[in-house]
Amino acid sequence: MRIKSLPTQLVNQIAAGEVVERPSSIVKELLENCFDAQATQINIEIEKGGAQGIKVRDDGCGIYKEDLPLALSRHATSKIANLQDLEHVASMGFRGEALPSISSVARLTLISRTEQADCAWKVTADGSEKDFNPQPDPHPQGTTVDVRDLFYNTPARRKFLKAEKTEFSHIESLIKKMALSRFDIGFSLHHNQREILNLKPAESISAKEKRIANIFGSAFIENSVYIDFEASGLQLSGWVGLPTFSRSQQDMQYFYVNGRLIRDRLVTHAVKQAYQDVLYHGRHSVFVLYLNLDPALVDVNAHPAKLEVRFREGRLVHDFLFKALHRSLAEIRPGEQKSVLKVEEFTPLKGDNSNADLMESVQKQSSLFSTPPPVQASLPMKVAEQIEAYAALYPKDKSDLVDDTVSPYRVDLNIVETENSYPDDPIEGMPPLGYAIAHLHSIYILSETEKGIILVDAHAAHERVTYERLKKQYHSGTVPSQPLLLPLKIQVTIAEADLVEQEHQFFSGLGFELNRTAPEAIVLRSTPALLGREDMDTLIRELLADMVSYGLSRRIIEKSNEILATMACHGSVRAKRKLTVNEMNALLRDMEHTERIGQCNHGRPTWIELSTSDLDKFFLRGQ
């Protein structure tokens, strides 16, 4: 067979196989063009799930009459002009394939008008890139793309379309995702002449939260916190769900890089690591996050549909995401307003913008992400020890004014009214978790707060308090190690053996004595005493694999934390063990100073709150 050039229309149809998977693919490409045209309002009209008609109209800058034929030609674009532009792509589209690919498998009409033009101009296309004949049209400023009879000339592909309801659900889901990337743009969606969505532009945080609530429901906003981190040219902002507000599937996880919705293995790993210590087993976190960075540091040309990106400094991005999310989850404590939680912001360090300095900058600022909580007592394994510690730390604590002889099931009104038996004004200056009133069923602490009451699972709460202190003790000092009776020889790759040599200090700090004995062999002589009889061969291999992929691994920390969690569970107050009022108040004060106190080590909630308005509803007060 001789080599020959393919017809232009066939070339476009082949390209359409990557660009146009289903009707929602067309909507995505057209919306991205609207974004690049600086539109402030986008109207989408869908007929029969998109198979019969897709019309997208915007009020953007428009296209010049002379450029209309080029807009419908392959590899013609206003977004880039040379290789340098391709390495700094800031626009959503840049390949110039969307419109000609769409026109090769559907009947396409393009109408556009610029601000200076006397009228709009209309052209039709069939993917052949010829016989364009612009005609005047009374269209206002902006652009309308009307796509009809999808796959009319490729019936084999039309058979792969699903039911109308299914195809439209993909379109609706896509528009919701893209509406979350551009809060400054209004969106309207109609299906078969029926309005489905009408989202107004949102500028303030509250307006943005309202848009999110319209898409995900109000429960998402009520159970999430807004974060804003910045360091060394990287900025992460958005909403992260509380660990107790989790899902059985990953259907509420949206991550945007420079306004582009992406799926990335590195990002997924960083988020999973940040939630690992607080999320219930088998559950998935929820979030809407926005990462902004220099376009030169991210390659958006790594996937045909631009759904994946490639970071030039993957380790830098991974560590930044993990530390930002890990810190924000740790800062969620009693008394904070969930939806307006103030998270510290980090500003870039001055200096050269080279990659080496960028990495060093983040490493220098990483200490800011691990600021310890307020001073706590040394490690207590029993509630009684906590009381003694708090007597020294907080000698004037109001909980000391409560008589611990009061029955945990009953508050004697005579005693409460006795002078100095309870704060004169318990509401004034009341701590976030209030003061204990009773120990219900020897399991739950009932406490009165300024806003209502709270119920605390004493074991779960004390478990988290003890666990955090164990971690702090373990990770702040020198890790004790124990020598192996017989050194363990492990076969690894050359790159992994190089890591053992380069990061010798890191391994020693964790309690490992690792030495390289051959180009592809290492010997383990000592291990952390806390890890006991772990499968060290597998652990070291997984540790090195993580370091190759993500930088310094957290696998050792995870294994250590599992053992620390077990110790904390056995060292915490058990159910059915009656607590005195002073013991309960000591635990409440401890909770207020403990990170991640909202969940125990297994991801279960430690406390819940009922406001006075909630109580009034139970008894129909004020109705």
Q: Chain-centre distance of CA 114, in angstroms?
A: 39
DSSP state of 341: -
199 has which bridge partners?
187
The predicted-structure confidence for 132-173, as pLDDT tens digits, reads as follows: 789 999 999 999 999 999 988 888 888 888 999 999 999 999
C-alpha span between 382 and 462 (Å, rounded): 9
- Specify the pLDDT at position 335: 57
pLDDT at 130: 75
The predicted structure's pLDDT at residue 560: 64
pLDDT of residue 531: 64
- Work out the average pLDDT over 50-75: 91
Listed residue (609, 244, 122, 590) closest to 383, CA to CA: 590
* Per-residue pLDDT at 39: 95
Lowest mean pLDDT among 164-173, 243-252, 379-388: 379-388
Spatial neighbors of 362 by CB under 8 A, at least 6 apart, are 231, 232, 234, 316, 319, 320
Q: What is the model's pLDDT at position 50?
A: 94
Residue 136 tokens read as 């005047």
8-199 placed in CATH 3.20.20.70: no
Sequence-ordered alpha helix ranges (H) in 331-412: 355-369, 383-393
Q: Is 149 left (phi over 0), alpha (psi -120 to 50) or beta?
A: left
DSSP codes of every residue in 128-155: S------EEE---SEEEEEEESTTTT-H
pLDDT of residue 380: 34
The lowest-confidence range among 403-417, 459-473, 549-563 is: 403-417
Q: Which residues contact 241 (CB under 8 A, 6 or more apart)?
A: 220, 223, 224, 252, 285, 286, 287
Q: What type of residue is 194? A: R
The least confident of 39-48, 88-97, 105-114, 208-217 is: 88-97
Could you tell me the residue ranges of all domains in the chain?
8-199, 205-369, 383-470+576-618, 478-569
Q: Residues 127, 103: contact at Cβ < 8 Å?
A: yes
Question: Do residues 185 and 170 touch, judged by C-beta distance below 8 A?
Answer: no
d(CA 500, CA 68) in angstroms, rounded, equals 59
Q: How far, in Å, CA of 533 to CA of 559, rounded?
A: 12
Percent of the chain with pLDDT over 70: 77
What CATH topology corresponds to 478-569? Answer: Ribosomal Protein S8; Chain: A, domain 1 (3.30.1370)
The dotted CATH code for 383-470+576-618 is 3.30.1540.20
- Residue 397 in this model has a pLDDT that exceeds 60: no
Query: Who wins on pLDDT, 225 or 402?
Result: 225
Q: How many Å apart are CA 103 and CA 105, to the nearest integer?
A: 6
Question: What is the per-residue pLDDT for 138?
Answer: 93
What is the predicted pLDDT for the residue at 40? 95
Instruction: Look at residue 521 and give its three-state secondary structure.
Output: strand
The per-residue pLDDT of the chain, averaged, comes to: 79
Which of 194-198, 242-246, 310-314 has the highest average model confidence (pLDDT)? 194-198
Taking only the tens place, the pLDDT of each residue in 528-578 is: 775 666 678 888 888 788 777 766 666 666 666 776 676 667 666 766 778
Give the three-state DSSP class for 430: coil
Whole-prediction pTM: 0.68
Listed in sequence order, the residues at least 6 apart from 270 whose beta carbon sits closer than 8 Å to its beta carbon are 317, 318, 319, 321, 322, 325
- Phi–psi pair at 89, nearest 5 degrees: -65, 120
| pLDDT(492) > 70 | yes
CATH number (3.40.50.2020, 1.10.3720.10, 3.40.640.10, 3.30.230.10) of 205-369 reads 3.30.230.10
pLDDT in tens, 322-353: 989 988 888 776 755 454 444 444 433 333 34
Q: Would you state the pLDDT for residue 360?
A: 47
Q: Is the pLDDT of residue 310 over 90?
A: no
